[in-house]
Structure 1
Amino acid sequence: MVVTLEEAKLYLRIDGDEEDTLITSFIFTAEEICEDILRFPLSEFEEIPKVVRQAILYCVANMYEKREGTFYYLKNESGSIAETINVMKLILGNLRRESW
């Protein structure tokens, strides 16, 4: 894992451990999304750039905040996972490869 559970919980301002499994799942998902956007595995970095770590935390926070999947988010492009991914593409754009 690039971002630890402790880092994510600090970013989310969560003290308890009731949702550790959920947050860990979000971290793995966010890292996979980053790899899809970058078009290469994160393991290719000798040192993970701060911008990648920030994109992962941004994604985790959005998935955590929108975990209930309200009808509004499913129906409206604003606030959806698609919007989150578009922002991540902007954050990671300068590191993205042309193809896999």
Structure 2
Amino acid sequence: MATVTLAEAKNYLRVDSTTEDDLITKLIGSATTTVENVLRQPLSAFDPLPDDIHIAILYTIAYLYEYRETADFDSMIKFLRAILAPYRKEEF
């Protein structure tokens, strides 16, 4: 289930070039997995996917793209936990 398309991510990042398509595609996968880990449940559990979760995925893609060399993952995870709190399962 693709929650964010390559075209949508590129538009969000304001990237016109095709030279970074592979990187952005990998970031989409990483962001989706990261958000699922924070939620403690698969994205397929939501139908339809809430806008807050969709925006969290886009934010994560942008953060990883912008700070690909120096990303502070602890800070990113704390932010995601805060904005995704209403959707998180209490336990696995």
TM-score range, shorter chain: over 0.9
Q: Is the 8 A contact 1:26 1:63 kept in 2?
A: yes
Cα-Cα RMSD: 1.0
The percent identity for this pair of structures is 43
Distance in 1, Cα, partners of 2:85 & 2:37: 12
Post-superposition offset of 1:68 = 2.3
Aligned residue in 2 for 1:7: 8
Aligned match of 1:91 in 66, 83, 86? 83
Mark the structure with the bigger radius of gyration.
1
Aligned residue in 1 for 2:50: 49
List structure 1 runs of 4+ shifted beyond 3 angstroms. none
Could you give the per-residue CA deviations for residues 75-100 of structure 1, whole angstroms, max 9, x where no partner exists? xxxxx121111111111001001111
Does residue 22 (structure 1) correspond to residue 23 (structure 2)? The answer is yes
SS at 2:17 equivalent:
coil
Runs of at least 5 residues in structure 1 that lack an aligned partner in the other structure: 74-79
Q: Is the 8 A contact 1:63 1:81 kept in 2?
A: no
